[in-house]
Amino acid sequence: MTAHQLQPDTWVDVYADYLFNYAVTRVSDSEIAKDLVQETFLAGLKSAKNYKGSAAERTWLIAILKRKIIDYYRKINSKKGKAEVRIGYSSSSESEGDWLEEQVADPFSLQENDAVENEELGMAIQSCIAKLPKKQSLVFTMKTVQGISTEDICKELGINPSNLWVMVHRARTALMGCLNENWFKI
């Protein structure tokens, strides 16, 4: 194998468990983690032409997975919730805003090694959740992370659905602000 050659036919056997463990510790949901790993492999295949060989194959896949995790949290915290997120990586790029798969950043670029980028996303999210008011944090975690139904949360906490959605909205807004301060800075 040359330094610039990927071996995607071995990815599942060699990297799936490592990538899954990495993802599940950051999203706390095994099904979402599985989906993120699958999306990572697909993105790797689509962006194989951009692989320069300066990073190990696993490091390169982790860089893709980190972006998938960021996209996941941006989607669940966006106003529309299900809106697809497009990211522009460089102001000089003619294809700014194209999908991640089409322009995966080199993990050894200055941008990828920025101190903020090297912070653990999962720790940043947990830290931001911990800063929320207690009830807001509880409602957000129950609804968004654990996927508990609105009806069950309302019964358990003695609140109405309107109040629940206000708390979820405020939590998402606060989390996005916190993550923008502590994680998404470039």
CA–CA separation, 65 vs 68, rounded Å?
5
Q: What is the dihedral of CA 112, 117, 120, 124, to 10 degrees?
A: -160
For the chain, the domain total comes to: 2
CA–CA separation, 30 vs 27, rounded Å?
8
Asked if 76 contacts 130 with a C-beta cutoff of 8 angstroms, the reply is no
Q: What is the pLDDT of residues 122-170, one digit of tens each?
A: 777 788 888 999 999 899 888 887 788 889 899 989 999 999 999 989 9
Q: What is the pLDDT of residues 100-118, one digit of tens each?
A: 444 444 444 444 444 434 4
| Average pLDDT of every residue of the chain | 75
Whether 27 and 83 map to the same domain: the answer is yes
The answer to the question of residue 3 being in a domain is: no
pLDDT for position 132: 92
Whether 31 and 65 map to the same domain: the answer is yes
Asked if 40 contacts 59 with a C-beta cutoff of 8 angstroms, the reply is no
Whether 29 and 90 map to the same domain: the answer is yes
Provide the domain limits for residue 97. Answer: 8-109
Lowest-confidence pick of 55-64, 73-82, 158-167? 73-82
Whether 81 and 165 map to the same domain: the answer is no
Whether 104 and 13 map to the same domain: the answer is yes
Asked if 60 contacts 107 with a C-beta cutoff of 8 angstroms, the reply is yes
Considering the entire predicted model, what is its pTM? 0.44
Whether 29 and 78 map to the same domain: the answer is yes
Q: How confident is the model at residue 97 (pLDDT cuts 50, 70, 90)?
A: very low
**3 in helix, strand or coil?**
coil
Using CA atoms, how far residue 174 sits from 80, 131, 178, in Å, is: 16, 9, 6
Measured CA angle at 66 (ends 149, 138), to 5 deg:
30
